[in-house]
Amino acid sequence: MKRETLDAALREACARESGTIPAPPIPGRVLERAMAAALAGRRAGQGASRLKAALPGALAAASVLAAVLALAVTPPSYRAGEPLATALVAGLPENPAAAFALFLESAARP
Amino acid sequence: MEEPDGKALRDDALAGGERGKRAFERLWRAWWPRLCWFASTWRGLPAAEREDAVADALVRAYGSLGAYDPSRPLAPWLYRIAARRFSDAARAASRHSTLALDPAGDEASWDPPSGEDHARELETRDLADRCRAAMARLPGADRRIAWLRFRDGLDASAIGRALGLPAGTVRWRLHLIRKTVGTAVGVDDEA
């Protein structure tokens, strides 16, 4: 006999196996635990959603902070009035990340 | 047996209230029998603790439905949660319990065939019965793989996801399972 016969017999064996155990009624305490677990899961999900929603704002704030810190440690040759510092200060409110990138790029130059 | 739709189950569970309760009832009806058998493949898990472990696995799965991706099949995801729970319970039982373990395999308990045209049916039942007995003698890990393949129709990748095994290992084990069971029941495993 072929594999198909064997597979069909194995499927039949498994189907009969599972058919011999009927599901009992759900015990009250199990239902209560399930509802409590679902509620906890929903709350955790909402928390994660809120965190996800707040993430772009937090990243923008971190960029501003990084740019301000970068300005604070700007070498004397880049003080206000010089082209780089002017560009940084001008770009900061508009696009802090780009301003910071500009600073890094310029600082890396010899 | 009614097979609950994973997406509907998830949506209802997330909705909570009466919808949530009905979703858990659907999950329970469809999965309790399957997981009971699945749990029996952990021979270190005493029969007295099996039903609690199944209930616990279903509660965990239900509470985690928010993390379930409805674009993927429900069965591997749910079996994965159950497998972890049963492994933990079996480990804990082996450390703490002095209960005698459940002997493998129960007796067949389905009704005899009725009607006149039952020669073929008897043959099918006999073969299935012998397969069932041969499966009961397999190691627990192979019984799990056989169950997921032949009861749930999962492919090697899905079985691998459910049991934390590489798909290639699952394919190889399936080959050996067919060979072992085929030899035991007198059916050659020819592709």
Is A103 part of a structural domain of the chain? yes
Cβ contact B185–A6 (<8 Å):
yes
Question: Is B170's pLDDT higher than 90?
Answer: yes
Question: Which carries the bigger pLDDT value, residue B140 or residue A85?
Answer: B140
DSSP E strands in chain B: the ranges are: none
Structure tokens at A4: 């198909």
Of A25-29, B27-31, B120-124, give the lowest mean pLDDT range. B120-124
Structure tokens at B55: 């209930």
% of chain A exceeding 70 in pLDDT:
57
Q: In terms of DSSP H, where are the helices of chain A?
A: 3-19, 28-72, 83-91, 96-108
> What average pLDDT does this structure show over B15-30?
89
Question: Which carries the bigger pLDDT value, residue B113 or residue B49?
Answer: B49
Which residues in chain B are closer than 8 Å to A43, comparing Cβ atoms? none
pLDDT at B169: 94
pLDDT in tens, B1-17: 567 788 888 988 888 88
Is A36 part of a structural domain of the chain? yes
Longest distance between any two alpha carbons in chain B, whole Å: 54
Question: Is A75's pLDDT higher than 80?
Answer: no
Cβ contact B132–A15 (<8 Å):
no
Is A81 part of a structural domain of the chain? yes
Is A14 part of a structural domain of the chain? no
Total structural domains within chain A: 1
Model confidence at B119, pLDDT cuts 50, 70, 90, reads low
Question: Which carries the bigger pLDDT value, residue B130 or residue A99?
Answer: B130
Alpha carbon distances (Å) from A88 to A50, A59, A63, A78: 32, 18, 13, 10
Q: Would an 8 Å CB–CB cutoff place B29 in contact with chain A?
A: yes
Contacts 24+ apart (CB under 8 A), B142-147: B142/B173, B142/B176, B142/B177, B142/B180, B143/B41, B144/B38, B144/B41, B144/B83, B145/B170, B145/B173, B145/B174, B145/B177, B146/A10, B146/A14, B146/B174, B146/B177, B146/B181, B147/A14, B147/A17, B147/B37, B147/B38, B147/B41
> What average pLDDT does this structure show over A35-39?
87
Is A91 part of a structural domain of the chain? yes
Rounded Cα gap, residues A30 and A15, in angstroms: 27
Is A79 part of a structural domain of the chain? yes
Which of A6, A18, A40 faces B187 most closely, judged by CB atoms?
A6
Is A15 part of a structural domain of the chain? no
Rounded Cα gap, residues B22 and B8, in angstroms: 11
Which residues in chain A are closer than 8 Å to B33, comparing Cβ atoms? 18-19, 21-23
State the CB neighbour count (10 A cutoff) for residue A90.
10
Which residues in chain A are closer than 8 Å to B12, comparing Cβ atoms? none
Rounded Cα gap, residues B128 and B188, in angstroms: 15
Q: How far apart are the first and last CA of chain B?
A: 30
Structure tokens at B23: 């979703």
> What average pLDDT does this structure show over B15-44?
89
pLDDT at B81: 93
Q: Would an 8 Å CB–CB cutoff place B105 in contact with chain A?
A: no
Model confidence at B120, pLDDT cuts 50, 70, 90, reads low
pTM of the model as a whole: 0.67
> What average pLDDT does this structure show over B21-39?
90
Is A21 part of a structural domain of the chain? no
Which residues in chain B are closer than 8 Å to A41, comparing Cβ atoms? 13, 63-67
Q: Which domains does chain B have, with CATH numbers?
A: 6-96 (1.10.1740.10), 119-185 (1.10.10.10)
pLDDT at A1: 56
Which of A6, A36, A41 faces B189 most closely, judged by CB atoms?
A6
pLDDT in tens, B65-105: 888 898 888 999 999 999 999 999 888 887 765 544 444 44
CA B151, B156, B157, B163 torsion: positive or negative?
Answer: positive
pLDDT in tens, B147-169: 999 988 999 999 999 999 999 99
Rounded Cα gap, residues A102 and A105, in angstroms: 5
Q: In a 3-state reduction of DSSP, which class is residue A20?
A: coil
Model confidence at B110, pLDDT cuts 50, 70, 90, reads very low
pLDDT at A23: 82
Mean pLDDT score of chain B? 83
Give the residue on A whose Cα is nearest the Cα of B15. Answer: A42
- CB-based burial of residue B40 (10 Å sphere; 0-12 exposed, 13-18 middle, 19+ buried)? buried
Question: Is B63's pLDDT higher than 70?
Answer: yes
| CB of B86 closer than 8 Å to CB of B51 | no
How near does any CA of chain B get to the CA of A48, in Å? 11
Question: Is A37's pLDDT higher than 80?
Answer: yes
Q: Would an 8 Å CB–CB cutoff place B148 in contact with chain A?
A: no
> What average pLDDT does this structure show over A73-85?
55
- CB-based burial of residue B124 (10 Å sphere; 0-12 exposed, 13-18 middle, 19+ buried)? middle
Structural domain span for residue A57:
26-108
Q: Would an 8 Å CB–CB cutoff place B150 in contact with chain A?
A: yes
pLDDT at B157: 93
Structure tokens at B37: 């058998």
Residue labelled with tokens 């890396």: A108
% of chain B exceeding 90 in pLDDT:
39
